[in-house]
Structure 1
Amino acid sequence: MGADRFLAELTGGNIVWLLLAVFIIVCIFLGVRIVPQSEKHVVERFGRLRAVLGPGINFIVPFLDRVRHKISILERQLPNASQDAITADNVLVQVETSVFYRILEPEKTVYRIRDVDAAIATTVAGIVRAEIGKMELDEVQSNRSQLIGQIKMAVEDAVDNWGIEVTRAELLDVNLDQATREAMLQQLNAERERRAAVTRAEGEKRAIELNADAELYAAEQVAKARRISADAEAYATEVVARAIADNGLEAAQYQVALKQVEALAKVGEGNGSQTVILPADAVDAFANAFKMLKGRG
């Protein structure tokens, strides 16, 4: 009897220690939480927010605290979305957008919004329509980077209460309906024709200006040549007049006679000339010239 009682007490003690060991292991298992680098865990106690666990080893109270939400903090991309918008000049456009975001404060995200992706997509659609409605079509096409910045800023303000950071907003494409495209193509062709006409007109104008400049230059050169010739004649007349004044009439007669002799010599040098034409007073001219030469000698 004593031996049976001892064995019974020993067996009961082992069970207690075994149960205690199991309890400790379960407590450790439930109280220690290892959070990956790309996640944050939201802990609740009796259905109420208790803490947000960051990456690494964390400790919670077993059986009281519970990890309710495991939130990825990696950057996410919403599916590309298309929505219609009307510009300030009443042109219907179809805009394709894409938004990138990441969750910074999971406690706000899980308790303030049910479907964060749908909420952001709806917000972006409304903001895109509002921003494009402030701009004309030409501004939308030429100032796309400015429009993207305005959309991103407006989306950030709208989702700030959700614990979300909008990292990037992209305006992928702006499409027009067929009628608007045809009208824009006609306008583009008309603008090209206008520019071509202006270019041709400017070319013709430039050609006329260059022609006028050339004619003016030619006239100036002719006038300059005439002025030089007149100056030369005036100078020659002045020289003759000065010679007459200095040497008297005999010097002038000598020059005239000498020119007559030179002219007759040139007539006599002609190719195939058989006849020499002499003026009636040629002999007198020779006589006067030799007389003057003799008198000078």
Structure 2
Amino acid sequence: MTPDAIFDMILQGGGGLIFLLIAILIVVLVFRAVKIVPQSEQFVVERFGRLRSVLSPGINLIVPVIDSVAHRISILERQLPTMQQDAITHDNVLVKVDTSVFYRIVQPEKTVYRIRDVDGAISTTVAGIVRSEIGKMELDQVQSNRSALTASIKEQLVSVVDDWGIEVTRAELLDVNLDDATRAAMLQQLNAERARRAQVTEAEGEKRAVELAADAKLYASEQEAKARRITADAEAYATGVVAEVIKANGLEAAQYQVALKQVEALSRLGESEGRQTLILPSNLLDAFGDAFKMLKTPKKD
């Protein structure tokens, strides 16, 4: 076989090889151009070292060789490890505060190119905010206004991390711890406050009992006065009626009634057990005579 024949054979075989290489290159370029982004991630694409685009979940196309996926960012919610930092209250009490932060990345292009250590930056920011807010409150306010303190911490943290493309979903103030000396002092103060409240309650009860007793006496006096007034009014009314009768019928009608009462009294006295002894008034006969005289000549009224 001549050398020319061998060269022609190589050329014929090489054409098929080149076609195969071209086909493989096209397949590789297609695979590099198509990017499938998972639901929980976003891809940051760079072109010649500069930000090109951010790929959302699903099928995306890029220019192969020219564009490249520089960062794969998870958009799932993250939780920072529980952080503990010291803080001093407005009344100079040292407390240890435990906090926890939940966040997620919503703008990967900001997170990638504006901050290097996201977790460290958030932790430092939270520590500064917590110390600043607790420094404005006394210890009792920190214990009683924990929800308001948590809301304030979250509000300030949101305004800071917005430039980093981060959304703070929750910021929790987990616990406020005190040293043993402060805890013992607070317990002593609490016991003293409870004793004071008990004494105040007892004193108020005694005061109320005295007030109720005085009110009862006053009420009884008022009722007795009302009864006396009613009795006096009745007697006055009866006296007035008698006076009107005397005025209308004259003195003789009054004497007639008096005489009848004397006769009735003597009759009852005679019917009693001690009737063996009878005491008669000196003017008894005159009273009988007056009564009989009036009975004989009664007036129409």
Return the match for 1:221 from 214, 220, 223. Answer: 223
SS, match of residue 85 in structure 2: strand
Per-residue CA deviation, residues 53-89 of structure 1 (Å, 9 max, x unaligned), is 2222222232333222111011111111111111111
Give 1:276 shift: 5.9
SS, match of residue 135 in structure 1: coil
Give 1:274 shift: 5.5
Give the corresponding residue for 1:118.
120
Return the match for 1:24 from 23, 26, 30. Answer: 26
SS, match of residue 152 in structure 2: helix
Per-residue CA deviation, residues 175-207 of structure 1 (Å, 9 max, x unaligned), is 222332333333333333333333333333333
**Pairs within 5 Å for 1:85-164:** 85-164=87-166
- Structure 1: state its 5+ residue gaps: none
Amino acid at match of 2:292: F
TM-score, L = length of structure 2: 0.85
Give the corresponding residue for 1:280.
281
**CA spacing shift, 1:117–1:266, aligned 2, 3 Å:** farther
Give the corresponding residue for 2:184.
182
Deviates more, 1:197-206 or 1:111-120: 197-206
Q: Which whole-Å CA distance do the structure 1 matches of 2:221 and 2:131 have between them?
A: 69
Per-residue CA deviation, residues 120-150 of structure 1 (Å, 9 max, x unaligned), is 1121111111111111222222222221222
| Aligned-pair Cα RMSD in Å | 2.7
Identity %: 69
SS, match of residue 296 in structure 1: coil
Deviates more, 1:104-113 or 1:76-85: 104-113
Q: Which whole-Å CA distance do the structure 1 matches of 2:15 and 2:207 have between them?
A: 117
Return the match for 1:33 from 31, 35, 38. Answer: 35
Q: Is the 8 A contact 1:128 1:151 kept in 2?
A: yes
**CA spacing shift, 1:6–1:284, aligned 2, 3 Å:** same
Amino acid at match of 1:255: Q
Q: Is the 8 A contact 2:79 2:101 kept in 1?
A: yes
Give the corresponding residue for 1:13.
15
Amino acid at match of 1:204: E
Give 1:102 shift: 0.9
Deviates more, 1:99-108 or 1:247-256: 247-256
Deviates more, 1:87-96 or 1:55-64: 55-64
Q: Which whole-Å CA distance do the structure 1 matches of 2:128 and 2:75 have between them?
A: 26
Q: Which whole-Å CA distance do the structure 1 matches of 2:196 and 2:29 have between them?
A: 84
Give the corresponding residue for 1:212.
214
Q: Which whole-Å CA distance do the structure 2 matches of 1:191 and 1:269 have between them?
A: 81
TM-score, L = length of structure 1: 0.86
**CA spacing shift, 1:265–1:11, aligned 2, 3 Å:** farther
Q: Which whole-Å CA distance do the structure 2 matches of 1:81 and 1:266 have between them?
A: 108
- Structure 2: state its 5+ residue gaps: none
Amino acid at match of 1:169: A
